[in-house]
Amino acid sequence: MRQAGGKWWQERAVYQIYPRSFQDSNGDGIGDIPGIISRLDDIEALGAGVIWLSPVYPSPDADNGYDIADYRDIDPRYGTLADMDRLIAEAGRRGIRIIMDLVINHTSDEHEWFRKSRDKDSPYRDYYIWRPPRGRGPRGSGRDRPNNWTGFFLENTWTFDEKSGEYYLHLFHKKQPDLNYRNPRVIEEVKGILRFWLDRGIAGFRCDVINVLYKSSLADGRQGPLPGMEFYVCQEGNHEILRELRRDVLDKYDCVTVGEAVMVDVERAKLLCDESRKELDMIFYFEHLQVDRLVERYIPKKFRPARLLDVLSKWQRGLEWNAVYLENHDQCRIVSHYGGGEGEYWEASAKLLAALELTLRGTPFIYQGQEIGMTNFDFRGFGEVNDVETLNWNRFLKRFHVPARLRWKWLKESSRDNARTPVQWSAGVNTGFSAGKPWLGINGNYTRINYESQRGDDNSVLGFYKKMIALRAGSDVLKYGEFRPLGAKGSVIAYQRVLGDKAWTVLLNFSPRAARPGPLLAGAAGGSVVASNTGRTAMAETLLPYEAVVLGG
Ligand code: TEU
Ligand code: CA
At 320-358, the pLDDT tens digits run: 999 999 999 999 999 999 999 999 999 999 999 999 999
Residue 416 CA, ligand 1 centroid: distance in Å: 9
Please report the beta strands in 266-362, taking only residues with DSSP state E, as ranges in sequence order. Answer: 282-284, 293-295, 299-300, 323-325
DSSP H or E stretch at residue 358: helix 346-359
Q: Which of 109, 260, 279, 371 is the catalytic position?
A: 260
For ligand 1, what atom is nearest to the CA of residue 328? Answer: 15
Average pLDDT over residues 286-301: 90
How far does Cα 411 stand from its chain's mean position? 19
From CA 294, how far away is CA 96, in angstroms rounded?
39
Are 131 and 247 members of one domain?
A: no
Dihedral pair phi/psi, residue 244, rounded to 5°: -65, -45
Q: What is the pLDDT of residue 427?
A: 98
Q: pLDDT-based confidence at 142, cuts 50/70/90?
A: confident
- 378 catalytic residue (yes or no): no
d(CA 511, CA 490) in angstroms, rounded, equals 9
Which one of 208, 279, 342, 387 is the catalytic residue? 208
Q: Which residues contact 460 (CB under 8 A, 6 or more apart)?
A: 347, 372, 453, 454
374 neighbors 423 (Cβ within 8 angstroms): yes
User: Which element (helix H / strand E) includes 13?
Assistant: strand 13-17
Same domain, 198 and 291: yes
Residue 280 placed within a domain: yes
Please report which ligand is nearest the Cα atom of 173. 1
Are 55 and 130 found together in one domain? no
| Cα 153 to averaged position of ligand 1 atoms, centre (Å) | 9
218 lies in the same domain as 78: yes
CATH number where 505 lies: 2.60.40.1180
* Same domain for 155 and 37: no
Residue 457 sits in a domain of what CATH number?
Answer: 3.20.20.80
What are the tens digits of pLDDT across the range 224-237? 789 999 999 999 99
Tell how many helices (H) and how many strands (E) occur in the chain.
17, 18
Task: Tell me which ligand sits closest to the C-alpha of residue 439.
Answer: 2
pLDDT digits (tens, 9 = 90+) for 4-61: 568 999 999 999 999 999 999 999 999 999 999 999 999 999 999 999 999 999 999 9
In this structure, are 87 and 127 located in the same domain? no
DSSP letters, 468-514, are: HHHHHHT-HHHHHPEEEEEEEETTEEEEEEEETTEEEEEEEE-SSS-
In the chain, the largest separation of any two C-alpha atoms, in whole Å, equals 75
The residue that leads in pLDDT, 253 or 142, is: 253
Quick one: which of 237, 121, 242, 247 has its CA closest to 182? 237
- Domain membership of residue 476 (yes or no) is no
φ, ψ dihedrals at 256, nearest 5°: -125, 150
Distance CA 119, CA 140 (A): 17
Q: Does residue 5 lie within any of the structural domains? A: no
DSSP-assigned letters across all residues of 85-113: HHHHHHHHHTT-EEEEEE--SB--TTSHH
Give how many domains the chain has, as a whole number. 4
Amino acid at 394: N
Is residue 475 in a domain?
A: no
Nearest to 542 by CA among 510, 508, 512, 518: 518
**Average pLDDT of the chain, as a whole number:** 96
- State mean pLDDT over 410-435: 97
Kindly state whether residues 275 and 371 are assigned to the same domain.
yes
pLDDT at residue 1 above 50? no
* pLDDT value of position 140: 87
How does pLDDT run across 495-551, given as a tens digit for each residue? 999 999 999 999 999 999 999 999 998 877 778 999 999 999 998 899 999 999 999
DSSP category for residue 150: B
Per-residue model confidence (pLDDT) at position 372: 98
Find the domain containing 145 and state its range: 106-178
Say if CB 498 and CB 525 are below 8 A apart.
Answer: no
| Closest of 259, 277, 263, 362 to residue 319, by C-alpha | 362
Strand, coil or helix: 443: coil
Cβ 391 vs Cβ 296: under 8 Å: no
Q: What ranges make up the beta strands (E) of 279-318?
A: 282-284, 293-295, 299-300
List the one residue out of 32, 36, 22, 105 whose CA is nearest residue 68. 105
Give φ, ψ of 293 to 5 degrees. -125, 135
Q: Which ligand is nearest to the CA of 22?
A: 2
Asked if residue 243 belongs to a domain, the reply is: yes
Dist CA 317 CA 483 (whole Å): 7
Range with lowest mean pLDDT among 134-143, 374-383, 447-456:
134-143
What is the pLDDT confidence band of residue 416, given thresholds at 50, 70 and 90? very high
| Domain co-membership, 303 together with 427 | yes
The span from the CA of 374 to the CA of 485, in Å, is 29
pLDDT at 5: 60
The pLDDT, as a whole number, for residue 172 is 97
pTM of the model: 0.97
DSSP letter string over 175-221?
Answer: TSPBB-TTSHHHHHHHHHHHHHHHHTT--EEEETTTT----S--SPP
Q: What is the pLDDT of residues 481-506, one digit of tens each?
A: 999 999 999 999 999 999 999 999 99
Q: Is residue 4 part of a domain?
A: no
Do residues 98 and 114 both lie within one domain?
no
Strand partners, 488: 493
145-198 residue pLDDT tens = 999 999 998 888 999 999 999 999 999 999 999 999 999 999 999 999 999 999
From 172, 258, 296, 327, give the residue whose CB has the most ligand 1 atoms within 8 Å, as the site to mutate. 172
> Is residue 1 in a domain?
no
Residue with CA closest to ligand 1 atom 9: 330
Q: Are residues 354 and 461 in the same domain?
A: yes
477 belongs to a structural domain: no
Q: How far is the CA of 169 from the centre of ligand 1 (A)?
A: 17
Residue with CA nearest ligand 1 atom 7: 330
Separation CA 431–CA 426 (nearest Å): 5
Q: Do 236 and 306 belong together in one domain? A: yes
The verdict on whether 320 is a catalytic residue reads no
Where is the domain boundary, 154, 178, 202? 178
Same domain, 307 and 446: yes
The rounded Å distance from CA 343 to ligand 2 centre is 33
Identify the band that residue 2 occupies on the pLDDT scale cut at 50, 70 and 90: very low
CA distance 286 to 68: 24
- Nearest residue (by CA) to ligand 1, atom 18, is 66
